[in-house]
């Protein structure tokens, strides 16, 4: 008997197997959604602020003094990357039982001026809340001590209260929505391909 498999027969076969094609689409979408959320990473960020400004009591033009001090904050932020500051923070952490290389600490900590103020913000990232807090406090203390020694014209920073805990920051491994759509599309495609080949196989078996 001649082996034939018409388009109409294939279409009917697809309709009969539509339920598990849809199931594969749902399973594929759900699997990709779960996988994307599982590979999300959580880090912890601790922040501490400091005030850096000269005493304006005797200044003839306090506003100009404040403006000049605010411009200098960018220079102070660069000074925060100095080896002397970093090494002092590393030594402080080592004394506290935390070992970290200077380069790693530099990557984990950011010091930046707060716009339109005389405030500097120190931010530290780590894989635990405890480490993030230790990093930011050690760095702020080192900066307060070392920076004025490196730059004599710089006023001594006034540190704000030390943080007790860090904030958890979760970064998804990818877009959950895109992963859901991609997984569903892949599942449907696999279902259609399987249905196609099972249809051909059944037709060949029936006409053998």
For residue 60, the model assigns a pLDDT of 61
DSSP 133-195: HHHHHHHHHHHHHHHHHH-TTSPPPEE-PPPSSPEEEEE-SS-HHHHHHHHHHHHHHHHHHHH
DSSP 26-47: HHHHHHHHHHHHHT-EEEEEEE
What does each of the 208 residues of the chain score in pLDDT, given as a tens digit?
A: 444 556 666 667 667 777 767 877 787 777 777 776 666 678 899 999 999 987 665 656 556 666 766 788 888 999 999 999 999 999 999 999 999 999 999 999 999 998 888 899 999 999 999 999 999 999 999 999 999 998 888 889 999 999 999 999 876 666 667 777 777 788 777 877 777 777 666 666 666 5
Planar angle of CA 118, 122, 128, nearest 5 degrees: 160
Contact 3, 199 (CB under 8 A): no
Q: In 3D, which of 55, 56, 86 has the Cα closest to residue 158?
A: 55
pTM score over 0.95: no
Tokens standing for residue 165 = 């805990």
Contact 2, 208 (CB under 8 A): no
For residue 194, the model assigns a pLDDT of 76
Number of neighbouring beta carbons within 10 Å of residue 190: 15
């Amino acid at each position: 008997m001649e082996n034939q498999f018409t388009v109409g027969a294939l279409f009917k076969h697809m309709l009969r197997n539509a339920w598990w094609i849809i199931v594969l689409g749902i399973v594929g979408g759900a699997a990709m959604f779960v996988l994307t959320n599982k590979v999300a990473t959580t880090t912890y960020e601790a922040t501490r602020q400091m005030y850096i400004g000269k005493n304006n009591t005797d200044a003839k033009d306090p506003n100009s003094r404040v403006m000049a001090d605010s411009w200098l904050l960018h220079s102070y932020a660069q000074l925060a990357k100095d080896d002397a500051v970093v090494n002092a923070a590393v030594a402080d952490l080592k004394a506290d039982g935390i070992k970290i290389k200077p380069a790693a600490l530099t990557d984990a900590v950011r010091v930046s001026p707060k716009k339109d103020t005389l405030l500097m913000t120190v931010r530290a990232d780590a894989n635990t809340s405890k480490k993030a807090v230790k990093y930011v406090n050690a760095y702020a203390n080192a900066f307060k001590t070392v920076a004025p020694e490196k730059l004599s014209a710089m006023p001594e920073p006034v540190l704000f209260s030390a943080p007790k805990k860090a904030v958890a920051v979760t970064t998804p491994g990818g877009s959950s929505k895109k992963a859901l759509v991609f997984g569903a599309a892949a599942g449907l495609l696999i279902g259609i391909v399987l249905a196609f080949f099972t249809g051909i196989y059944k037709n060949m078996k029936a006409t053998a």
